[in-house]
């Protein structure tokens, strides 16, 4: 039997993170799911196991560097390898810039940008210390490439994630063995992030499809499939890229 492949998924308690955990587990990864809500984390583990995969949950705050350091020690000591890390945790709000406080901007930056920087930093360390030729996937957004009204804080944060991932890819390529880093940029996806902000109604679903060339409602599973490609061996020559999965919303 071959050695198990381990994948860390942050923000695995809901939405894209949970879908990514399920998809990678279907590909044979043992999932180390992370998040702050133990009850929702247990639900993710249960869903993975019900589908025939294996997972466990590790609760910690991905904006806390000490927590990342402790988590990295746990992974290296207990598992001895790390093949993939999906930085999926994040937040979102809409508000006109003139009404956005600096505190709100900083809070979103902390969740959306600093958590990814820490995840990539400690992903590098875990992969270095276990001699793993790993893949890091940072979940950004179409909003990191185009401007969206009333989303100044979110667009700025996701633009930072997108460009940071390119720089990290250059550093990861110099590691022995190399570590790949890519930015995955979803369009508007029907997840709890959208329904929490706007509700779930035919009008909201029309909004999700608005401007989408394929006229499809984007689902978390669509992003999870892209995660699986970037995390797996089929993308061994792919690093430093920005992968849009938006139904063509950004094509114009």
Active site residues per annotation: 154
Contacting residues for 80 by C-beta, under 8 A, at least 6 apart: 130
HEC readout, the chain: CCCCEEEEECCCCCHHHHHHHHHHHHCCEEEEEEECCHHHHHHHHHHHHHCCCEEEEEECCCCCHHHHHHHHHHHHHHCCCCCEEEECCCCCCCCCHHHCCHHHHHHHHHHHHHHHHHHHHHHHHHHHHCCCCCEEEEECCHHHCCCCCCCHHHHHHHHHHHHHHHHHHHHHCCCCCCCEEEEEEECCEECHHHHHHHCCCHHHHHHHHCCCCCCCCEEHHHHHHHHHHHHCHHHCCCCCCEEEECCCCCCC
């Amino acid at each position: 039997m071959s050695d198990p492949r381990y994948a860390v998924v942050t923000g695995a308690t809901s939405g894209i993170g949970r879908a990514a955990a399920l998809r990678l587990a279907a590909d044979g990864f043992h999932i180390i799911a992370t998040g702050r809500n133990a009850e929702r984390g247990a639900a993710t583990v249960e869903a993975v196991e019900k589908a025939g995969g294996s997972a466990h949950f590790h609760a910690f705050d991905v904006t806390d560097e000490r927590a990342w350091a402790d988590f990295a020690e746990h992974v290296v000591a207990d598992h001895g390898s790390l093949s993939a890390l999906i930085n999926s945790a994040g937040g979102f709000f809409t508000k006109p810039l003139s009404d956005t406080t600096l505190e709100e901007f900083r809070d979103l930056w902390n969740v959306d940008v600093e958590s990814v920087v820490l995840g990539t930093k400690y992903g590098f360390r875990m992969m270095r210390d276990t001699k793993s030729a790993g893949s890091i996937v940072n979940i950004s957004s179409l909003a990191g490439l185009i401007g969206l009204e009333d989303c100044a804080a979110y667009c700025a944060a996701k633009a930072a994630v997108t460009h940071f991932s390119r720089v990290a890819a250059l550093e990861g390529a110099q590691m022995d063995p190399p570590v790949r880093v890519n930015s995955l940029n979803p369009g508007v996806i029907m997840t709890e992030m959208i329904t929490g902000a706007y509700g779930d109604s035919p009008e909201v679903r029309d909004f999700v499809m608005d401007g989408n060339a394929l006229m499809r409602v984007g689902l978390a599973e669509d992003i999870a499939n892209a995660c699986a490609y970037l995390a797996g061996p089929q993308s061994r020559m792919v690093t430093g890229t920005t992968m849009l999965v938006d139904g063509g919303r950004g094509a114009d």
